[in-house]
Amino acid sequence: MNPAISFWVDSILKAITALAATAVAFYVALISKRQWKTNQEKLRLDLYQRRFEIYLRILEYHWALLDWQGKPEQIASRGPFVRAFCESRFIFPEKSGVYDFLREFNQHALQIVNFKSELDEKGSASPRPNPKLAQLQLDNVKWMFDSPDALQARMAPFLNFHSL
């Protein structure tokens, strides 16, 4: 074979190999970028789902507290709330105020539950009701009744899926 033709064939093969390697590298880069975007979207969705689960657990416990009678299903709603309360510290930024709000929510919830427990223990044996305790209970129930709006205000920026 002619050395000039051999040189050109060799040069063309090297150029094709270089172009193929560049094309493969470009294609791998595109795949990597797409995987990164997919992982970002998955993280966003997972975080949204965790936050929404917290919101639902709080609402479930909230509804149980509004008509607290100490039923087993009401008592069972306490555990998921405590878990949501603990998770909120790590899933929501401190400046959001979600954890602080849930701490206050928990204090009112405990007072509602404890008041009902005391009534159940004493039964109708108590000669006269304590007006201070009754007023405190009424204040706790009123706070609890108004709490979903405050909860939504704090959690809304983190539950608006389109702006995450």
Task: Provide the pLDDT for residue 28.
Answer: 96
Whose CA is closest to 161, among 49, 80, 3, 82? 49
DSSP string, 42-67: HHHHHHHHHHHHHHHHHHHHHHHHHT
How confident is the model over 123-155, as pLDDT tens digits? 655 556 677 877 888 888 899 989 999 999 999
Q: What is the pTM of this model?
A: 0.75
Q: In this model, does residue 121 exceed pLDDT 70?
A: no
Whose CA is closest to 87, among 47, 128, 32, 146? 47
Dist. CA 65–CA 110, nearest whole Å: 10
Cβ atoms 58, 78 nearer than 8 A:
no
Q: Would you state the structure tokens that stand for residue 5, as one six-digit string?
A: 């033709």
Who wins on pLDDT, 42 or 119? Answer: 42
Please state, in angstroms and as integers, the Cα–Cα distance from residue 72 to each residue in 46, 76, 77, 122, following that order.
Answer: 31, 6, 9, 20
Task: Provide the pLDDT for residue 138.
Answer: 85
Cβ atoms 92, 99 nearer than 8 A:
yes
How confident is the model over 61-97, as pLDDT tens digits? 999 988 888 889 999 999 999 999 999 999 999 999 9
Running DSSP on this structure, what letter comes out for residue 92?
S
Alpha helix locations (H) across 67-130? 72-76, 78-91, 98-122
Whose CA is closest to 150, among 102, 110, 106? 102
Task: Provide the pLDDT for residue 161.
Answer: 73
How confident is the model over 6-40, as pLDDT tens digits? 888 889 999 999 999 999 999 999 999 999 999 99
